[in-house]
Every structure is written in structure tokens, then in C-alpha cells.
Structure 1
């Protein structure tokens, strides 16, 4: 199968560290043939650093001037509504960072466009691509199918603020002025304060909202949120309890994100590395206790591959039709609905 020709729309800090640096090393699977960034000096420096033959200043110029099979567009999510429709209408599969958008309404329009044009729009919930998460997901589904360890009862995700960079090298920079792109406005039914709360929540915690559904493999709803914004809880369609501890404490030079999936007679736990840690997968711990023998523990060894690298591989495979994307826009829309419901629920304390 021939290599995919990849175009990049946006090569700022996250564009370089989380995405471009990983695609550039997948030389057997793809080649980066063009990039676009309104910061001319930065675009030229990045193109030279990664050997990208064409550099443009806008996504429109790239669409008109380069031949690409797919586009990676690591933009601010509040600019998706103004950029992504052009790419989808051009019929080009696209990857964007999380979340899909700020509001449910804008998200619905992006989902509708992707469906109308039959174009893949993969949303970058990279935690789904961590080898440890993929492994845990398979084991959880096996336990649910066999019933060997009882029913799935509880999922808890903890993500205190910490060092999410994890020692990653600094990206290339320039003295270009930061582009002033129009940002998606908040919904009419939220106040300015509520919109700020929504913006903060989807920026920091939408990954965990999505990860809960990935491990559950069914819808859930939010039922409680404390007034300090430390804990929210919910319940799935089948009655599984879920909890998200957003900021019970914070760390300065560590990262303590964990996911615990509890069955009646055992659990599967994943401890994730900092999001930008270089080629480091999470850790899986599996406990089994059938009540007849002493509890046993497994700690399978994961490959030296980061979630970001695996995510790039997953997007390429999805564009090629080899396997489904980990999360498409239609599913990502459900995260925005949960975030909206959470913000409205919190207003009960005002």
C-alpha cells in the first residue's frame, strides 16, 4: 500500500510536539508533503526542520496548492468551526485535537458535514491510543463477555493537575505575532461566566469524560457535581457507577492520572504517563480474586510507544480503511453534551 500524503494545518507547540514529530518518524506509512501556518517564519522553520516541501499560510492555500490524502489540523478547538468545514467539503479525511468544538451546536454541524460528505473526522482523544488503554480495554471486554469476575460495577478516573509536558523538548518558535483567529462563541443559553466554566472544563477534563465511555462501551449521564468542582459522578445505561476526580490535589514534577475499572471479583487499573512524555506507554495492573485462592496480580509489559505515536498510526490506518478510528466526531459530540449538562447542573449551587 502506498504511503499517505499528509498535510498539516497548524504547526505550533502542540502541532510539533504531539503530532508532527510522530508522523515524521512513520516513514514507511506516510510522508508530510505540506503544512500551513499563518506565522510565516515559524512555518518555514518547521518545514525546513522536518523536510516538508511546501509551506503555506492558510488552510485554503494548502487545499488549493497541495495534493494530500489526509490532513492533521491541531488547531484550538474554538477555531474548528471556521476551519474544519472547508477541509471536510474538500473530501479530505481530517484529524483534529479534542474536543470537537466548544458547544454542542457547533459540534452537531461538524458531525452533520462529515456524514453528508462521507468524510472521516477523527478527534484526538490520544488516551484511547495508549497501548496500556488498548490492552485494558480488551481485557475489560473479555471479563464482561465471560462473567468470570462478576459484573462491571464502578469506574473511577483521577486526574490531578501536574507536569503534563513530562520533559518533552521545546518546539521550534519564532517572533511572528500570534494569529488572531475568530473564536467560536458560547451558546446563547449560558451566561458569560458559564461559558468560561465550560471552556475550562472541556479544555482540561474532556479527555477523562471520553475515557470513561471508552472503558464502559455504553452511554452514561452525569448525576452529581460538588460545588468545588472536585468530583462529578454519573451512571451508565446499565447501572454502572462512574466518577471523575478532577483536582483532588496537584503535583509539580509528576503526573498522577489513573483509571480504575472494578468488577465484583477483580479490577483493571491503568496509570498513564504525562501526555507529552516521549515514547512511554501507560502501566496496567490487573487484580483477580475468585474467593477460593489468594488474590493474583498481573502487570503486563507495554511497548515503548507513546499514545501520540500510536494515535498517528491509528489515524493513518483509519484513512486507509484498515481499522476504525478510535473516536470519530459523532461519538465526540456526546462528550460535549455531558460537559454542557455538567455546567448546567453546577448552577444548582449558585
Structure 2
């Protein structure tokens, strides 16, 4: 697709639709126009379309897809609706961005990925942390060190993310008292009991970002090898034998967000501290330690741009729609996250 403006449609205008996505695309006027909204709640549709100057409003996603008005859509829907809603978008041949995870269950994800591959449709999954400028910078350094070998082998990746204030006290979205439209939702995976199914659901809702980020920094697949009884630690090993850990809840914070990533080589490390997901105009921070045994050891802290991960994700989606570069995370890769989550819960079941 040429560099012309992309005509963007939104399917849904709830909390994440407005605060994580709509505001960011609205602030990229040289790259896109939000031209259509599908929202079945008429009062909310009217308020949101007025606030964001969206000229065309539809009561259903089917009407929006059939209108011919859009080049791409952002479908900010609960992931339990992805397997029901997204096939219609893929069949329409319209590129789509959804939130994570790709679906709820592995089985549903496999069907959705297969359909997308058969149709050749772009489905970008919104792992926005990959689009944080700090993460993009860290990934470049990791790949450079792996290629050069100057700082030894990659040895270890650790992510720590205790529960905290992920909204960063952001502004409230436009709300409504209208009831939601009843519709089908994907059920919990049949292989788990009700209790373990809900545990799996909670894990993919909260920690799937970090499961994905580990593979992003590794540059290769990995498997889960250990889950502790307290459910605070997720341990894995990559294809080449690199150890990875995810510390899920060593403690909690009430008004802060503590998300840290350590990528350790034999003679240096890259450390990333990420802000809360809905922070605006702020990227993460990077610290690089170098000690190759020849030069003076050093710490560097590059200054990151005042761009949030969500804003940069919007740019990355538009670039993928134009065919300028691949999406940061496509549906087939996102499916691997669900398999890891499933295997983690299976390990926990062994203690029961």
C-alpha cells in the first residue's frame, strides 16, 4: 500500500478502545484518519463519534466491514470474543489489530491462525511492550551482542512484574449506562477444571505480555520447565539452553508500577524498566553495562524519546498495513504464548 493516509475503522469503543488506541491514532493525523466506528450501544456510539470526530457510525461490525470505507480496523474487544469476531474481519480481507492474547484457548487460537494463513490476512496482536522505544533499543543491543560475541554468550533473561497500578491514574474514558450487547464468548479450555481454567484465564490476561517479551528478547522459542507451588515463579529454557524466569508476584504496589527486565550476557547486561501500560508520552528506561575485560567497564543510560509504547504500536500497525515492515507480533507467533500458558498451568496441576 502506498504512503497515502490509511482509513481506519474501530470495532468497539470501550475502555481500552478509547484510552489505549483511539487517542493514539487520533494523534497521527499525517498517517491515518479514523473514519468509521462499529458500536452497538447507540448512546456511547454517539458520544464517542462526536468526541473523536468519527464521521461514520455502524451498529455492528458486519455493517462496517461491508461499507468499503476502511483500509484497516482496530478491534479492541475482550479476547474471549476474538475467535467469534475476528474470522469475519479476516474473511473481509481487512488488516486488523487486536489486543492480546490472540484468543483464550490454544484450540481456538489454532483455528484462527489457520484461517488467517489460508486467507493471507494481516492480524497483528497488540503486545505493545514490543513497541516501547526502550524495548526496541534493548532488542537491537541484544542482537548486536549475540552477533558480535564481544560480551560473551547470552546466559539469562529475567522479568519481574508485581501487580500494581497499570492505569497510572489515567483519565477516565467516555462511559455509558447502556447494557452491553449479549453475545457469544469463548469458554474456558475444556482440558482444565473450572478452578484451573480460571487460573489459566487470569494468567493469560495478566502475564501473557511478559511470556511474549521473553521470546522477543531471546529471538528463539522456549519451553516452560518449572512452576513453583506459590505461583510466583515461571521458569523456562530456550532452544539453545538459555534460562529464563518470570517473577509474577513477589510483592504488590498500590500506586506504582514496577516492571523490570534483565538480559544477562557473560560480560554485560541490558536492563529495561518499563512504565505502566497506559502512561502517555513516556517510554521505558534502558541501562547497559559493558565489561568485556579489555576496555574500562561502563554503564550507559541512553535518553529515550517521549513516546509511549501504545503510540509507537499504532505507528507500527500502520506501517505493517502499508507493507513497510512486518507487524511486531503476528497471530502465529502469539499462538505460542498460549501454548506456554497452557503448559504452565499443566505444571501447576501436578501439585494438586
Q: TM-score, normalised by structure 1?
A: 0.98
How far is 1:292 from its partner?
4.2
SS at match of 2:350: helix
How far is 1:186 from its partner?
2.0
Counterpart-to-counterpart distance in 1, 2:55 and 2:188: 38
The 5 Å alignment of 1:6-17 reads 6-17=8-19
Q: Is the 8 A contact 1:163 1:255 kept in 2?
A: yes
Give per-residue Cα distances to partners, 1:41-90, cap 9 Å, x unaligned. Answer: 11110100010001112111211235110010010000001100000000
Q: Is the 8 A contact 1:122 1:325 kept in 2?
A: yes
For structure 1, the residue ranges without an aligned partner over 5 or more in a row are: none
User: In the alignment, which residue of structure 1 is the partner of 2:260?
Assistant: 258
Counterpart-to-counterpart distance in 2, 1:180 and 1:204: 25
User: In the alignment, which residue of structure 1 is the partner of 2:341?
Assistant: 339
User: In the alignment, which residue of structure 2 is the partner of 1:210?
Assistant: 212
**Deviation larger for 331-340 or 294-303:** 294-303
Counterpart-to-counterpart distance in 2, 1:117 and 1:216: 30
Give per-residue Cα distances to partners, 1:132-153, cap 9 Å, x unaligned. Answer: 0000000000000000000000
State how many pairs are aligned.
350
Runs of 4+ in 1 over 3 A off after TM superposition: none
User: In the alignment, which residue of structure 1 is the partner of 2:70?
Assistant: 68
SS at match of 1:223: strand
User: In the alignment, which residue of structure 1 is the partner of 2:48?
Assistant: 46
Counterpart-to-counterpart distance in 1, 2:179 and 2:230: 37
Q: Is the 8 A contact 1:126 1:307 kept in 2?
A: yes
How far is 1:40 from its partner?
1.3
Q: Is the 8 A contact 1:34 1:66 kept in 2?
A: no
Question: CA RMSD, aligned part only?
Answer: 0.9
The 5 Å alignment of 1:170-189 reads 170-189=172-191
Give per-residue Cα distances to partners, 1:69-115, cap 9 Å, x unaligned. Answer: 00100100000011000000001011100000110110011111111
How far is 1:228 from its partner?
1.3
Q: TM-score, normalised by structure 2?
A: 0.98
User: In the alignment, which residue of structure 2 is the partner of 1:280?
Assistant: 282
Q: Is the 8 A contact 1:272 1:282 kept in 2?
A: yes
**Is residue 235 of structure 2 the alignment partner of residue 233 of structure 1?**
yes
